[in-house]
Structure 1
């Protein structure tokens, strides 16, 4: 390239082209907006309870007029997350079975429970809770209630945990 005019035109064209190209890269559009992301919560399933074998009761047995005896409850958790039992209250009349005779008048009462230890139930699992001094037996209990296993209807309150 011996022509100086042509050389100047090429240099100017190159500089202008680089400047325009850089301007295009800087001039890219940007934008932002706002809105909401969506998620859906599951629905908690109520825990259920089950019976505990009579052989599990070896201490804290009931006697007419006794101050208090122990109770055991099996809590089943159908949820995909662990729960903690925060309260257990009676919601019906206790019944007795397997005693030495008729046990229509059980004399059994319930002391509301608010377990603070050993109250966790794993996700999709179950746990047996031992409740010391949860039940009482009055002197109104019939003789046929000796050796009976008592079913005490309760409502169990839980929280996710």
Structure 2
């Protein structure tokens, strides 16, 4: 710049602008306070179970004194979040139906399971549990071909 007056005006303007800007920053006040925020948890709804059609059982069938067999269970999750099935345990006496005759003494026993299977939010999953059931030699002859209903308790945890 060749004009000394213009240079002085620019320097003065810059100094005044910096001073005013600094004054504004110094004049800003800050404050804080403490209080509480609110939130509410939902309520978990218990899962429900359903039976699987007899036609689904093609392997892992039970025989008196034979190896452990396969159990299948439909688990319904009514919750708006996914869950994981952590355990399935017996909670009653198994009953047999649809066999070749009377199946009062089933001889069927349940082996506790920990499948760790996920069930989607508001969805369902069929659990296939190999080795979950067995049949003793005390089973009635009429239990041949029967479908067994085994009361269980299913425990789930949120994911």
Fold equivalence (TM over 0.5):
yes
Per the alignment, residue 123 of structure 1 pairs with 121
What secondary structure is seen at the aligned counterpart in 2 of 1:55?
helix
RMSD of Structure 2 on Structure 1 (CA): 1.8
How many residues align structurally?
A: 141
Larger radius of gyration, structure 1 or 2? 1
- The reply on whether 1:147 has 2:149 as its aligned counterpart is no
Distance (whole Å) between structure 2 residues aligned to residue 158 and residue 120 of structure 1: 9
Distance (whole Å) between structure 2 residues aligned to residue 67 and residue 57 of structure 1: 16
Distance (whole Å) between structure 2 residues aligned to residue 60 and residue 151 of structure 1: 16
Distance (whole Å) between structure 2 residues aligned to residue 23 and residue 82 of structure 1: 56
The answer for unaligned runs of 5 or more in structure 1 is 1-18
**TM-score, normalization by structure 1:** 0.82
Distance (whole Å) between structure 1 residues aligned to residue 132 and residue 91 of structure 2: 14
Report the CA distance between 1:24 and its aligned residue.
7.8
**Cα gap change, 1:26/1:160 in structure 2, threshold over 3 Å: closer, same or farther?**
same
**Cα gap change, 1:23/1:46 in structure 2, threshold over 3 Å: closer, same or farther?**
same
Per the alignment, residue 82 of structure 1 pairs with 82
Map residues 20-35 of structure 1 onto 2, 5 A cutoff.
Answer: 26-35=26-35
**TM-score, normalization by structure 2:** 0.83
The answer for unaligned runs of 5 or more in structure 2 is 1-18
